[in-house]
Structure 1
Amino acid sequence: MNRPVVVFAIFFIAGILIGEITAVKASVAFILAAFSFAAAAIGYLSAWRKNSRLLIVIFLMLGLSLSRLWIEGSETPLVNYDGQRVVLTGRVVAEPDVRADKVYYLLEAQELTKSGKTGQVTGAVRLQLKDTNQVFAYGDILSAAGLLTRPEPAGNPGLFDYRTYLERQGIRVVLIAKGDEAVRKIGAGGANPLQGAALVVKQKLSAAATHSLSPAQAAVLNGIIFGVQGLIDSETRRAFSETGVVHILSVSGLHVGLVLGGLLALLRLLRLPPVWTAPLATPLLVIYAMMTGLNPAVMRSAIMALLLVWAHHFGRDQDWPTTLALAALIILLRNPLQIYHPGFQLSFAATWGILYLGPFLTSACLNLFRAPPGIAGRLAIQALAVTFAAQLATAPLVAWYYNLLSPVSIIANMLAVPLTGIIMLLGILAAFLGLLWLPLASLVNVSTGIVLDIFLAVIVFCQRLPGAVIFLSTPPVVLAAVWYAGLLAVVRVYAGRCSEAVAQRVKRWAPAGAALAAALVLLWWPWRPGQDLTVHFIDVGQGDSILVQTPGGRNMLIDAGGRPGEFDTGTGAGDQIVEPYLRKTGVHRLDILALSHPHEDHSGGAVWLAKRLPVKMALVTYAGAEAAGSSRAEGVPAAYTALLDSLEARDIPVKVALAGDRIALDSAIKIEVLSPVKSEVMRSQAGLNNSSLIIKISYGRRSFIFTGDAELDEQQELLRGEADLKADVLKVPHHGSRSLLADLVEQVRPEAAVISVGAHNTFGHPARSTLDMLNAAGVTVYRTDLDGAVIMRTDGNNLKIMQGKKTNKM
């Protein structure tokens, strides 16, 4: 068997995937693994080389059993306290994740107190501590009072699944605490002493940057050296992502290579023999990996680097596919579910691309020159080929997870990576000098700050180049499979890595493969609109956001969600939910942005979206619009009027809609504004609700009514009008509050009603009376807190309804 470790790793991964798909019990998987091991042992005693397939089965069963053991081992009785306020005692078992407005801790639970009763508990808990100025340390034992919750399943298809993300780390519950008084240290000890020592050293080293650089510079420097991203602002992180250099902020092969290169340079400077390299590199890389959190990328890099130096130490050759497979096995034995981590996938894909595609691309580039280039030219070509190889290998994964491709990534990497080396050199030098005397660190970091500013300016410059980023909808898995098969085939055939017969066979089938790839691209790429009207009730928590995609390919967004404070911060539902959902769906521009009324839970997300997506027109209610560019109306948030001003400053027309208006968006559909009737601005918060835009959209025999937060007054005004209110779908006003009128339900006579509402909200939404009223009328009720996103598609006759979550109807 050639490269048995590679084969074993492939089947071990297959076992992990089967384990999660089948959800077989861990005990059953363990019995199967034991049986396979016994069979293999018997086969080994007889003639193992004839029974090597049994070894493959062992690794398949091992992956299956370990994945099930990991999943079932993370189960905890703490989930029974979901939604309850408790006092929890636990030990901090990982480095605190410090953010600008909160700190996250990973606790190993020990005791739980509820209603005066204390009991022993087990399980991993993520503690979220808000409004605090103190940061506890690894190994501290904390007593924390707060709300224990189990994250909701992902409500929006394709978006980040917080529950699954935590469960794959063995975490089932989150404890939300607020203020310094909510958490106190009651002890310490019991933690891994080596991990603790590594984090103490890291804290002392990073202090030099904190004390001698601006907060923004220190955040980026500590991100580059240690992979700490919590304090890097969202705009900077986005610039790294959109230029394809985000790997610089996640410690990986680049960083490990620079650290190892620094050690080699130091040994040469000290004139120490090469025999010292492996013994000194081992503790250095292990401690560095511990400092950076043992993420999949740094573990992969450290393992491969150590295998390389020890192979050189013993005079052995290294086979990179075997080394890469062994690194994967070691990481997955520690946590089999890391296979789903984007960092794991991107790190291994990039490394495979560099090692498999890189030499082929380098050779191909060199063959373009009639005469061999000089040393500098050859190095430049190699750097270009390696960068391009990594981009080719990770392109499907980047498109899948981030919905973008960055054409400038090669240029950005060619410019940024050399600067990264200089920044790490200066930053590490300043960090060690800071251990002796902080002013020395400050002196070195004058240069570090200058290089950091140049580095960030280069990234922002690349981000702002025309065509720097191309946003994509999520590609189909089969397209990624065809992509990787194509890369494998091209290199094997044209680099002479297969027999002539195989090469001829591949070339014969190449046109068919290219045709398949082209067909998949044509099906995936939004070249032409479909024939359906699609309405997405996006799950934004306690708020509203509805995407309408017309048969003619136009896009209308009715409300943009919003969380408390989003008007001021510009971050929340807009950047974390609505924009990603639009990108995943393939929506990269808005023909109409309709804001039903000025409240933050409907309009807050528009602050972000207006900066990120082209908007042709904004449609707003009269309330608040009169304040744009003038004095603010009573009850209208200042940030809302500032939002309207910013839209007009970008040459986006802001149109006030009143009852009777018709909106021309797509000739295939009819859009009518049913309310507000009145043109004066309401003066109270209830008045803002009662000035909501109420819009009816019709397509063929099907129609929808969207009601914003309309309360009693506006509903009664609507009923007094002459508009045709009959519709198949009713967006229930004001998150299903008790203000829904039975007469409105009777007039609309909907088949289905959608309530956009947040789970465990403090407003009592939806009201029991409203649910009873709708059920009594025979209406099928969909709720975003229970069903997730509700997606309705119609061809004008039939209506198909899909849900983001699988739940039972009420």
Structure 2
Amino acid sequence: MKGRPLIVGTAGWLAGSSLAYAFSGMRLLLIWGGVTLLVSAAVLLRRQLLRSMLILWIALTLSGAYWLLNDGRNVTKLPEALAAEAGGLDGMMLHGEGTIVSAVDVDGDRADFQLELRTARMQGEAASGEGGTSIPAAEGLHERVMVQVKLQSTEQQAEARTWRRGDRIKLAGTLELPGNARNFGGFDYAAYLRTQHIHWLFKVKGAQNAQVSPPASPWSALMIFRWNDGARSGLGDKLGQIFREPHAGYMKGLLIGMQDDIDPETYSQFSQLGLTHILAISGMHVAVFVASLLFLFSLMKMTREKALLLTMLLIPVYVLISGVSPSVVRAGIMGMIGLYAARKGWLKDGMNVLAAAALLMMLWNPYYLLSVSFQLSFLVTAGLMVYVPLMSKLLRFLPKRIAGALNVTLVAQLVSFPLTVYYFNQFSLLSFAANFVLVPFITFVTLPLGAVSLLLGWIWLPAGKAAGWVTEFTSDWTFRLVRWLNGFPQFVTIWKSPSLAWIAAYFVFMYLFLYLASRLAGSRSRIPAGIAGDETAELGGTGRSIDAGNAPNNKKMRMALTGIMLAFLFLIYWEYRPTSLNGAGLVQFLDVGQGDGILITTPEGRNILVDGGGTVNFRKPADAWKERKKPFEVGAKVVVPLLKQRGIHRLDAVIVTHGDQDHAGGLQAVLEQIPVKAFLFNGTLAGTKAFDKLMDTTLKRRIPVYAVHQGMKLKPDRHTELAFISPLMDDTEQEEIPVEKSQNHVSVAFVLTMNERRLLFTGDMDKAAEEAVLERTARSSQTAMTAAASDSSNAAGTMTAKVPQAGIDVIKIAHHGSKSSSGEDWLHYWKPKAAVISAGVNNLYGHPHAEVVQRIEDEGAELFRTDQNGEVQMLIRPEGIRIRSKLGLMR
């Protein structure tokens, strides 16, 4: 790094910010002290490193202090201003006034935007507070809050669409703290908002509680972004006029980075193949924009200096129009620096330019460090600079153009792979082929055609539509190829999120492998020494091959290369393999809101999913306008991401206890994205479109389906057994699967015995089903006792096979704690030591019911609730069960 102090300083700055984010207090101070000692030791060993090490240490120290300073200031001032505790403000009614500081997103029956709150007053404070003391409103605030307005009619929806950034607004609503992650490894909304300096949600019911007025001044920085919002909206509307769906949404993402209107199915298909970077404005788009402008200016006979200057000035405009994402900001800064260097005739150094862009962005907003877009953009760009020259030597046997495209594709995919699996937990092996073929096609064909269509459409709409038809033709072929490649799900691999140490080791091994391989390839390509001189010299005598002369070194290099390659492959295999529990079993009660979702991992690594939650929708046809473009679905947004993050490559069984939406709805996404070996259900249909679709999916994916009933057993491995105790077996022969509207009554229930510990899972059993099980148990016990009198040796077998034994370690309380389940006789028979209730926070049904909670306490069972504890995990060993919950409880 000698002669490149900017790169050293930026590396130190990123390292210091990362350490300050990951650690705090004495631990951070000790790490800083350790780094200081290491830097000092490096300087003592090699004096030549003094300058670089000093720059590195100063940058690391300053960046850590800068991060802590900014992070320490990132706190809410609202409680202090309103003379209240933060917890006391949660759920408080508030009147607020301020300025809209973001674009207004109107989606279905909700309008979301960021508000800079200037004035706030708790409802009812206008007169006086306690003891008649007047409590004035808090003024002069600069508190940024996230506003969510619940719209109540199409008229209110139309009104909300007129709201703009910069408008002044008065609101009356409820102040709430944003939610933290409720599952281990789940999305933390509060942490995400904090990176935007937002600490509160301001929820408003109805647009009648929002009074909007024009901006106070037409001259402010905010008005530039207001104009930009209007320009982006106008461009989006024009693209909507030129193209049909799904092409309109696709072109909005491709040309101006507007991803909200992309067809969800199209986006999902692109995501599966690792192609979503095409839909995010990045360096590729900026490069095309710059090249197009320079070409246009050359046609206009503009001088080189003027062309470079004008292009440099227009880059910020493009960055604004395309959405100001971290990737396009990075590309824009690099483009401007590069153009300025070219105009001045300076020697260009891509890595220095990249370092300058990173440093500027981190100084502007340290929280860029936590952005996935920022990380991927800089990592891939740096990786291309470092690894492409090494890879190019390995591809010399290919034609130059093919080798160049293949080189960039391979390096980009290999470099982005660790972060891809860290954040998204899947990687398609077909991603290499898809990117190799589609990225150049979209970049050099579809993107320019789309831009021409937009330009022509702005001048004369029919001309734009004509060009758009050609563009749609190219997009159709793209969609077809993407769909075809996605028809091979066996090439999609699922990865648990790796550690940072593994990611670092990955890049080290990748560099060593490519470095040695490129050197070996370079030595093989050298010509014999005798040919290097006179063309007429004889190929004998003193003439010798350089490669032959270096044969011993090449042999050592090949051995080293083989060793590194094997170590690299082992590193990848080690991370891909399922996590070992060292003989323990694991039961995870996921927090899926108002529903059930339970993941069982056996001691030998078998995975069983019991229910998958589901989003219940009571919306009537007349309320179709309330539907959002991308509705929240718990299976796709919660269950599937958690399964992938935990490295569940496949599910050995999926058990749906019954067909109600809050248990079965989320399984649709599971079956579509996770390989499943067997599907178990209660032998009835729910008579709903959603459940019929779920059953159809099992048939289309050729998943074996089994109807379970009392008396059946499933043995996933030597240490695990599932003994089904409900529903009762129906002896009548039926040609079709019956439809049962009362799905709760026929819920699948079973006793899980794992590592000699017993857990009871009950679905949504009602009291009638519980009584039926107890009655059958009593009859079986009487039969067993009669048999024991005649043949004691045969009685034990009868008892083991047919009679559920009383006394269990854990019971999953039925129906989310409804008072229609979990009767006194039922709980008294099983005598559970611990109980788990899966229920949504502040659910509409009032679950769990106080009577049920009291019954559980009367039995002396320890109670865990997902609405209070979040996800509950139980590590099961023969000697006991270790329990922990996401929101802090552990024993």
Whether TM exceeds 0.5 here: the answer is yes
Distance of aligned partners of 1:793 and 1:296 in 2 relative to their CA distance in 1, 3 Å threshold: same
Structure 1 counterpart of 2:871, from 784, 789, 805: 789
* Counterpart code for 2:165: Y
Q: Which residue number in structure 1 is paired with residue 706 of structure 2?
A: 655
Query: What whole-Å deviation, never above 9, does each CA across 1:613-665 have from its counterpart, x for those lacking one?
Result: 3333322225xx156xxxx4xxxx34324433443454444433332332344
Aligned counterparts of 1:503 and 1:16: Cα–Cα separation in 2: 42
Could you tell me which of 215, 219, 225 is aligned with 1:188? 215
Tell me how far 1:683 sits from its aligned partner. 11
- Choose which of 158, 161, 176 in structure 2 pairs with 1:149: 176
CA contact (8 A) 1:474 1:585 kept: yes
Whether the aligned pair in 1 keeps the contact of 2:883 and 2:890 (CA below 8 Å) is no
Partner of 2:64: 64
- Counterparts of 1:688 and 1:87 in 2: how far apart (Å)? 46
Match of 1:91 in 2: 99
Tell me, yes or no, if the aligned pair for 2:685 and 2:738 is still in contact at 8 Å. Answer: no
The Cα of 1:301 is off from its aligned counterpart by 0.7
| 1:805–1:414 CA distance, 2 compared to 1 (3 A) | same
Residue 519 of structure 1 and its aligned partner are, at CA, apart by: 5.0
Cα distance in 2 for residues equivalent to 1:219 and 1:151: 30
Q: Retained in 2: the 8 A contact 1:415–1:458?
A: no
Q: 1:754/1:528 Cα in 2 relative to 1: closer, same or farther (>3 Å)?
A: closer
Q: Which residue of 2 aligns with 1:765?
A: 847
Amino acid at match of 2:752: I
> Whole-Å Cα distance in 1 between the matches of residues 174 and 682 of structure 2?
38
Q: Secondary structure at the match of 1:690?
A: helix
1:801 maps to a residue whose letter is: I
Aligned residue among 70, 75, 82 for 2:90: 82
- Aligned residue pairs: how many? 773
Partner of residue 775, structure 2: 720
User: What amino acid does structure 2 have at the position aligned with 1:706?
Assistant: F
Q: Secondary structure of 1:91's partner?
A: strand
Displacement of 1:678 in angstroms is: 7.7
Q: Please give the TM-score of this superposition, normalised by the length of structure 1.
A: 0.86
Partners of 2:835 and 2:292 in 1: CA distance: 64
Cross-structure match for 1:374: none
Aligned twin of 2:3: 2
Matched with 2:614 is: 562
Distance 1:224 1:802 in 2: 45
Aligned residue number for residue 598 of structure 2: 546
| TM-score between both structures, scaled by the size of structure 2 | 0.79
Distance 1:324 1:484, change over 3 A: same
Residue number in structure 1 paired with 2:14: 13
Q: Using the TM superposition, give the Cα deviation of residue 212 of structure 1 relative to its aligned residue in structure 2, in angstroms.
A: 2.0
Deviation for aligned residue 1:298: 0.6
Partner in structure 2 of residue 372 of structure 1: none
Residue matched to 2:446: 423
Q: Distance in 2 between matches of 1:439 and 1:65?
A: 58
Aligned pairs (5 A) from 1:336-375: 336-366=366-396, 368=397
Provide Cα deviations, 1:730-779, integer angstroms capped at 9, x if missing partner.
11222234453344333333333222122233333334444454445443
2:256 to 211, 226, 232: 226
Which whole-Å CA distance do the structure 1 matches of 2:489 and 2:849 have between them? Answer: 50
* 786 and 511 in structure 1: CA distance in 2 versus 1, 3 angstrom threshold: farther
User: What is the rounded CA distance, in whole Å, between the counterparts of 1:439 and 1:362 in structure 2?
Assistant: 46
**Alignment partners' CA distance in 2, 1:419 and 1:311:** 30
Structure 2 counterpart of 1:565, one-letter code: N
Alpha-carbon spacing, 1:510–1:324, altered in 2? closer, same or farther (3 Å) = same
**How far apart are 1:57 and its partner, in Å?**
4.0
- Are residues 1:127 and 2:178 paired? no
Residue 512 of structure 2 corresponds to which residue in structure 1? 489
**Alpha-carbon separation, structure 1, partners of 2:392 and 2:569:** 27
1:390 aligns with 2:405: no
Q: Equivalent residue of 1:740, what SS?
A: coil
Matched AA of 2:68: R
Q: Which amino acid aligns with 1:550?
A: T
Q: 2:827 aligns with which of 745, 750, 753?
A: 745
CA apart distance, 1:85 = 4.8
The whole-number CA distance in structure 1 between the counterparts of 2:351 and 2:503 is: 21
Say whether residues 1:166 and 2:218 are aligned partners: no
Relative distance call for 1:103 and 1:503 in structure 2 (3 A) is farther
* Residues 508, 414 of structure 1: alpha-carbon distance in 2 compared, 3 angstrom cutoff: closer
Contact kept, 8 Å, 1:398 with 1:405, in 2: the verdict is yes
Alignment partners' CA distance in 2, 1:773 and 1:513: 62
What's the counterpart of residue 45 of structure 1? none
Are the counterparts in 2 of residues 143 and 184 from structure 1 also a CA contact under 8 Å?
Answer: yes
Match of 2:801 in 1: none
Q: 1:708 to 1:648 in 2, by over 3 A?
A: same
AA matched with 1:285: I
Partner of 2:719: helix, strand, or coil?
A: coil
Question: Is 1:98–1:230's contact at 8 Å kept on the other side of the alignment?
Answer: no
- For residues 489-638 of structure 1, what are the structure 2 equivalents within 5 Å? 489-493=512-516, 517=568, 519-526=570-577, 531-565=583-617, 572-622=633-683, 625-626=684-685, 632=687, 637-638=688-689
Cα distance in 1 for residues equivalent to 2:885 and 2:74: 28
Distance 1:341 1:751 in 2: 44
How far residue 391 of structure 1 moved from its aligned partner, in angstroms, is 0.8
Contact persistence 2:584–2:755 (CA under 8 A): no
> Which AA in structure 1 matches 2:190?
R
Contact (CA 8 Å) 1:473, 1:583: kept in 2 or not? yes
Structure 1 segment 246-265 matched on structure 2, within 5 A: 246-265=276-295
Deviations 1:114-133 (A, max 9, x none): 42445445422223445534
What is the alpha-carbon distance in structure 1 between the residues aligned to residue 751 and residue 235 of structure 2? 61
Q: Match of 2:751, as an amino acid?
A: K
Matched to 1:599, the amino acid is D
Residue number in structure 1 paired with 2:811: 730
Distance 2:465 2:425 in 1: 40
Alpha-carbon distance change, 462 to 420 in structure 1, aligned in 2, over 3 angstroms: farther
- Does residue 380 of the first structure (1) align with residue 402 of the second (2)? yes
Task: Report the residue type matching 1:794 in the other structure.
Answer: I
After TM superposition, the structure 1 stretch with the greater mean CA deviation from structure 2, 284-293 or 130-139, is 130-139
Matched, 1:22 2:45: no
- Please state whether the residue corresponding to 1:109 is helix, strand or coil: strand
Seen in structure 2, the aligned counterparts of structure 1 residues 587 and 52 have a Cα distance that, compared at 3 Å, is closer
- Are 1:560 and 1:606, in contact at CA under 8 Å, matched by a contact in 2? yes
Give the Å deviation of 1:257: 0.5
Amino acid at match of 1:576: K
Which residue is equivalent to 1:640? 691
How many angstroms apart in 2 are the aligned matches of 1:467 and 1:555? 18
Aligned counterpart, 1:322: 352
- Aligned residue type for 2:345: G
Secondary structure of 1:364's partner?
A: helix
The share of aligned pairs that are identical, in percent, is 27
For 2:775 and 2:747, the matched residues in 1 are separated by 16
- Cα separation, 2, equivalents of 1:743 and 1:411: 62
Out of 407, 416, 430, the position equivalent to 2:429 is 407
Matches of 1:284 and 1:83, distance apart in 2? 47
What SS is found at the alignment partner of 2:471?
Answer: helix
C-alpha change, 1:566 and 1:298, in structure 2 (3 Å) is: farther
Q: In 2, are the aligned partners of 1:92 and 1:140 still within 8 Å (CA)?
A: yes
CA distances 1:49-70 after superposition (whole Å, capped 9, x unpaired): 9777555444223322332333
- Asked if 2 retains the 8 angstrom alpha-carbon contact of 1:208 and 1:430, the reply is no
Point out the more displaced range, 395-404 or 530-539: 530-539
Give the match's secondary structure for 1:354: helix
Structure 2 gaps of 5+ residues are 37-48, 80-85, 126-136, 152-156, 523-549, 620-626, 778-803
Match of 2:785 in 1: none
Measured against aligned partners, the alpha-carbon deviations of 1:253-305 in whole angstroms (never above 9, x if no partner) come to 11111111111110111111110133212231111112223211111111111
Q: State the superposition RMSD in angstroms.
A: 3.6
Structure 1: 5+ residue stretches without partners: 37-48, 370-376
Structure 1: which amino acid aligns with 2:823?
L
**CA deviation digits over 1:187-211, x for unaligned, max 9?**
3255523333333322222222111
Q: Which segment is superposed worse, 117-126 or 574-583? A: 117-126
Distance 1:65 1:197 in 2: 37
Q: Higher Cα Rg: structure 1 or 2?
A: 2
The offset of 1:424, in angstroms, is 2.7
